Structure 1
Amino acid sequence: MGTRTAAVVGGGIGGLAVAVGLRSAGWEVTVRERAAGLPEVGTGLGIWPAALRALDALGLGERVRRRGSRQADGVIRRPDGSRIATIDVARLERRYGEPVHLVTRPVLLAELAAALPDGVVRFGAPVPDLAALGGYDLVVGADGIRSTVRAGLYGDRYPLRYAGTVAWRGSAAVEVATGGETWGRGRKFGVTPQGPGRTNWYAAVALPEGAQPPPDDLAELRQLFGGWHQPIPRLLDALAADEVLRHEVHDLTPLPSYVTDRVALLGDAAHAMTPDLGQGACQALIDAVALTDCVRSTDDLPAALRAYDRLRRRPTQRIAATARRAGWLSQVRHALPARDAAVRLALALGPPA
């Protein structure tokens, strides 16, 4: 058998990771990415132990650990600063052998891209439809929540679902000692240290789908959260209007399969989930390694893809469902003591690793 060929649609975390994996398995790979190049700015990501093991399998784990930082314990608080629960990262390390590592999205993408030869990733090369990729043995849809590849397989039969919240996010030139979230009535605000002198932040508010955007997002955030405990007001005071991103939060109706005989979906294209567990990037990395392992194990590509689907669909859909439930919990406006008790119980049971 000659060298097998794969087209990867999407040059994000999952797409670059699967390209690295497939090349290590002897495939000739082309990545098509609509953006003009790798991003230079971006928020931080928590890379959980299972995702770090996936990076180890790609030969990149130690580089990412060195360029990131260990996540410290965090706290979930009420708007007055009183404590609801502690996020015990040391407990996670005892259970799974290492902590969560924080790394920015641009750093992770740069490490993945550096593991590929020049010319593998074609920037500024969108794929208009699945039919344009008929000459490849394998097509991998890693093209995000609004996947062209998924649409080519399923049309609009499994639509995106509004998760009930509008989110704002960004980073600010403010340093915080520890990360965590603050939960109010139907709204929350989160911070994560990004590095010396910089902090990632996000906010979410329960709103009806299609709610009219405010004329000034930053003014809206200051009105909603400016009276909460520090460092939230200090962080909001440090922001400029062009540093705030706003979007409605969606996830994906669960798919009946991630594969056909020659097409596989991974990452958000397969199982877009709400950000409430911080698992999107992690699951994309695990998908990429699982797909690589399956196609490496046999020359029967349809069988390999079916094995990948069996391995990854149910676990990722369970995590997506859990993330959606966590999002609903943060939208609660009444019975806050019961909500707080549920949060403490969920943290005591332990997060997904």
Structure 2
Amino acid sequence: MAHAVVVGAGIGGLTAAAALQRRGWEVTVLERAPSLEPVGSGLAVAVNALRALDTIGAGDDIRKLSAIQGDGGVRSAGGRWLARTSAEAVSAQYGDSVVLLRRAQLVDVLIAHLAPGTVRLNTTVTGVDPGTGTVNALENGAASDLRADLVVAADGIHSPIRRALFPGHPGPVYSGITSWRVLVPAEGVPGQASESWGAGRVFGIMPLAGGVTYCYATDAVPAGGGGGDQLAELRRLFGRWHAPIPDLLAAASPENVLRNDVYHLAAPLPAMHRGRVALLGDAAHAMTPNLGQGACQAIEDAVVLAHVAGPGAGPAGDVTARLADYTAARLERTWKIVNRSSSINRVTGIRNPLAVRLRDTLMALASRLAPGRMAGAADDIFGWRPPAA
């Protein structure tokens, strides 16, 4: 039986493990953290990622736990609708909906689709040989080596494996924004899925199941800030924006607020593989959050990689040759999405009042004159389908 080692137990790594196991591979997931405690935030799983999750039998489990993203769109800081989106139109065009849930719920579903004992915690990978597939690791402080026919590097935006494989790549750079995320108990606080744009700032609202709302916010500021009461900072920045933003922030708890500077890969890798190693998710194409496609593209990567890797029964054969098909299938697609997300990020970062007014006017005008344009712009993202089994 062919053996795969997955480095990193995030959403992409866990999806890859489940997809490979369904193809008959023996899989070991190595995770440096001592426990799997996902970041306390929400997540949108778009139509394209749901199709991918269906291939590993997890799609319906996710749908049951999720809230469907209803009608929404983009608003100004004062509440004026600049562009509207229709959930009914998305469902009619793509055959499914965008769903919203907690990140922890998605992780739990993925783990439930793995064979017991697949994930080894408190294990730090110290080296990978792309030629032989040898993985060097420290497990609970003890050194060990694993041999793999395939190594999946799902070790995040600051991936040590990516740095080792492609030492000439510049690596992640600051995107120009810092972000906040918070889960808010929002029973009785009205709201619908929307994103509001101000002068260099964004505030997003995603109602989840169970009376919880996921809020996210960004501000175009230099990297390295933070510290102090971040909920107070959010209230200072957004407390005078349109309803229900002030009420949501009033209902939030300081301990639930997460702040992170947002980094991304501004230059594409020459390939998404080298030797027996395939890079996946943020390790390969970390993007800004503006399209909500970071986790979705990692999920796509995972099911395409498992398809390319082939059945795990018997000898693995020439995995190295097959991984060229993985790069061919994923590199161009993911970098188009990286670039589009980065472009939106730059537009949201505009601070000049006249430029903000012009941006908002043009967006509102385009939405009125071509109401289907926003849905049509999503065709190349939402219209993706996983490879046939």
> Do these two structures clear the TM 0.5 threshold for a shared fold by scoring above it?
yes
State which of 282, 289, 292 in structure 1 corresponds to 2:296: 282
**Matching residue within 237, 241, 249 for 1:228:** 241
Aligned with residue 169 of structure 1, among 170, 181, 185: 181
Q: Mapping of 1:67-146 within 5 angstroms?
A: 67-131=65-129, 132=136, 135-146=147-158
Q: Distance in 2 between matches of 1:219 and 1:48?
A: 32
What's the CA shift string for 1:243-284, capped at 9, x where partnerless? 111111111131111101200001111101011100011111
Cα displacement (A) at 1:183: 0.9
Is structure 2 residue 172 aligned with structure 1 residue 160? yes
- Residue 325 of structure 2 aligns to which amino acid in structure 1? A
Instruction: Look up the match of 1:254.
Output: 268
Task: Report deviation, 1:128.
Answer: 2.4
Percent same amino acid among aligned pairs?
42
Cα deviation digits, residues 318-349 of structure 1 (max 9, x gap): 10111111111111123224322247566254
1:150 matched to 2:158? The reply is no
- Aligned twin of 1:193: 207
1:80 Cα deviation from its structure 2 partner? 1.6
What secondary structure is seen at the aligned counterpart in 2 of 1:209? Answer: coil
Q: Secondary structure at the match of 1:208?
A: coil
Provide the C-alpha distance between the structure 2 equivalents of 1:230 and 1:124, rounded to a whole number of angstroms: 44
**Contact map agreement 1:142 1:268 (CA 8 A) in 2:** yes
SS at match of 1:126: strand
- Which residue of structure 2 lines up, in the alignment, with residue 312 of structure 1? 330
Pairwise CA RMSD of aligned residues?
A: 1.9
Counterpart in the other structure of 1:350: 377
User: Residues 147 and 26 (structure 1 numbering): CA distance in 2 closer, same or farther, change over 3 Å?
Assistant: same
Distance 2:220 2:21 in 1: 44
TM-score of the two chains, using structure 1 as the length reference: 0.94
Counterpart in 2 of 1:336?
356
SS of aligned partner of 2:296: helix
Letter in 2 for 1:217: Q
Cα distance in 1, alignment partners of residues 273 and 377 from structure 2: 31
SS state at 1:42 partner: coil
Shift of 1:214: 5.4
Match of 1:21 in 2: 19
Match of 1:206?
220
Tell me which residue corresponds to 2:387.
none
Following superposition, the deviation at residue 45 of structure 1 comes to: 1.4
Whether the aligned pair in 1 keeps the contact of 2:185 and 2:212 (CA below 8 Å) is yes
After TM superposition, the structure 1 stretch with the greater mean CA deviation from structure 2, 226-235 or 147-156, is 147-156
Question: Residue 38 of structure 1 aligns to a residue in which SS?
Answer: coil
Please give the alpha-carbon distance, in whole angstroms, between the structure 2 residues aligned to 1:91 and 1:157. 41
Cα distance in structure 2, aligned partners of 1:79 and 1:28 = 51
Aligned counterpart in structure 2 of residue 53 of structure 1, from 51, 55, 69: 51
Q: SS state of the match for residue 143, structure 1?
A: coil
Report the Cα distance in structure 2 between the residues aligned to 1:40 and 1:15, rounded to whole angstroms.
13
Q: Secondary structure at the match of 2:123?
A: coil
C-alpha distance in 2 between matches for 1:342 and 1:254: 29
1:215 pairs with 2:228? yes
Distance 2:210 2:65 in 1: 13
Residue 183 (structure 1) aligns with: 197
The aligned amino acid for 1:149 is: I
- TM-score w.r.t. structure 2 length? 0.85
Q: In 2 relative to 1, CA 29–38 (structure 1 residues): closer, same or farther, beyond 3 Å?
A: same
Q: Contact (CA 8 Å) 1:182, 1:189: kept in 2 or not? A: yes
Selected match of 1:321 from 333, 336, 339: 339
Gap runs ≥5 in structure 2 = 130-135, 137-144, 368-372, 383-389
* 1:244 aligned residue (257, 269, 282): 257
Whole-angstrom distance in 2 between the partners of 1:81 and 1:271: 33
